[in-house]
Structures are given as structure tokens and as C-alpha cells.
Amino acid sequence: MEALPSLADDGLATPLVGEWAEEKYQLVSCYAQVFARSMKNAWQRRICIDLFSGSGRAKLRDSHRIVPASPLLMLGITDPFDRYIFSDIDETNLTALRSRVDREFSTRDVQYVPGDSNANVSKILRLIPPYSKDCRVLTFCFVDPFNVGNLKFETIKQLAAGKRRIDFLVLIPSGMDAQRNTRHDNTLYAEFIDNHSWRKDWGDLGDLEQRRRGFGNFFVDQFGSAMERIGFNWGGVPSTRVIKNENNSPIYHLAFFSRADIASRFWDDCKRYTMPQATLPFMRG
């Protein structure tokens, strides 16, 4: 897959991110594109949520390239969604995002929900039109937290409740955060993976199995199992894309969840079409 375009500085908030973020952006952009295009004739309304939307651009730390980030990438697809819902706790980010959307995508239906996405889930839900026989509504939700503390599984449960048709692409902080803080963040971990006895489950694996699987994979599988309990397909850790940092250490797993079998085929296609991180900026010219 082609590298993302390099943009000139527009003076608005542009958070610094690791080079690895480009792989995440390519995957979310690919999935949003395939999803929106494939579903446009079968559904009356296609809704896109970016639960942790950021400012719309990011600056890659080593190459200093400024690239479009998830909300602008998902707005820029052909066959765009009928409505976009962006939420972020950081006012500066959301202000920058609004300016960029007004400048580049002024004709799209874009709704903003400032503040904590977990606390504001009912406001987000009110922006998704109700599903009915005559108005079939399909939603795609990108969930891109910085760390385990940003997301409560309860938020996913509420978004997925009832008859709502919704798919999720979730960046699970399985590397640094999960491993560094296991001793302290009992409740945050429990709330992210919806399992208050995760520590016992981890302990029950025994030393050998713990070493074989690693905590990151255990954590991802716990999240996947929680999704399975609310009716989503879970293909296990091998169905995810591991995102590694510059030192080749896994830091996140990008995991896809749908209740429809066809959707995981789109995800498999995107994993194939996006280039591995090893070919990113360091390798170019």
C-alpha cells in the first residue's frame, strides 16, 4: 500500500506520534474504505464513529512528516459515510479537527462530542439514527485510546446494545501499558477487558504458560473474549495486526470485531493490502 501523503504544516494542533502510527492509519483507512463502499447499496445510513478522534493530523517523530490521521482519512474515502461522529477529551485537538473538517470537508455531516467518550456515550448514541425496517443503519466505530485507562468496556457494551448493527476496530494497548502497569492498575485493566478476576485467570495459567503466551497476548485475548460474550466474532490473537515500535517491540494489537462473517473478510483483505511496518520511512530513499 502507498505511503500516506506528506502535508505542509497548517499551524493547528498536530500531535507527535511514533513512525508505527502510519501502519495504523493505513489499516483504518483501508477498512473504512472497503466497509463504506461494500455497504453503500445495502444500508440506508452508514455511520462512522471515531471515539478518540484526535486533531485530524499527526507528525511522525523520526521522519518529521505530517500525515492525515484517522478522522480525515475516513472523511476522505470515496463513497463516504452518511454521518461522522468525532469525540475527544482534549479541547485543542477537537478545535483543530473542526477547523480542518470545515476547510476540507465542509459538505459532510460531521457531529462533535467533546469530553470523555465513556461519560458521553449516551450523547454519542443519540447521534446514531435508530435502526428500522425502512431505515437500515450500519455503524463502524474506530476505538483508538492512548492507554488502558482511556476506555471502559461498558462503553463498547452500550454502543453495541440492542438491535444496533455495529463493527469495531480497536487498538488494544497490549505492549508497554499492559506490561508496565499490571501491578498497579487492577481496576483499570478489569474495566478495559470486562473481567474483574483477570489477575486470578492470569495466575491460573502457571509460569510456563504465562511465559509461552506473554501478558500482551493474554490481555488481547481477554478483550476478544469479552467481545465474544456480547455476540461478536473473535478469531483469536492471530486475527489481529500486531503494531511494533522502532525497536521492533509489540506495543499495540489492532483487533477487528463484527457480528457478521463477511466483515472479517474485509479486515483480512486490509491486513494483506497494507504494507508491513518494516518498509516504512526508514527504508525509503
Give the shortest CB-195-to-ligand SAM separation in angstroms. Answer: 20
Size of the site for ligand SAM (CB under 6 A): 19
92 vs 279 by CB, closer to ligand SAM: 92
Using rule CB under 6 A, residue 29 touches ligand SAM? no
CB of 152 to ligand SAM, least distance (A): 9
Here's the x/- map for ligand SAM, 111-130, by CB under 6 A: it reads as -----xxx------------
Annotate each residue in 66-85 with x if it binds ligand SAM (CB under 6 A) or - if it does not, as one string. ---xx---------------
Least CB distance from residue 91 to ligand SAM, whole Å?
9
Task: Tell me which of 26, 29, 33, 87 binds ligand SAM, using CB under 6 A.
Answer: 87
Question: 3-class secondary structure for the chain?
Answer: CCCCCCCCCCCCCCCEECCCHHHHHHHHHHHHHHHHHHHCCCCCEEEEEECCCCCCEEEECCCCCEEECHHHHHHCCCCCCCEEEEEECCHHHHHHHHHHHHHHCCCCCEEEEECCCCCCHHHHHHCCCCCCCCCCEEEEEEECCCCHHHCCHHHHHHHHCCCCEEEEEEEECCCHHHHHCCCCCHHHHHHHHCCCCHHHHHHHCHHHHHHHHCHHHHHHHHHHHHHHHCCCCCCCHHHCEEEECCCCCEEEEEEEECCCHHHHHHHHHHHHHCCCHHHCHHHCC
Minimum distance between the CB of residue 178 and ligand SAM, rounded to whole angstroms?
15
Applying CB under 6 A, which residues contact ligand SAM?
50, 52-54, 58, 69-70, 87-90, 93, 116-118, 144-146, 150
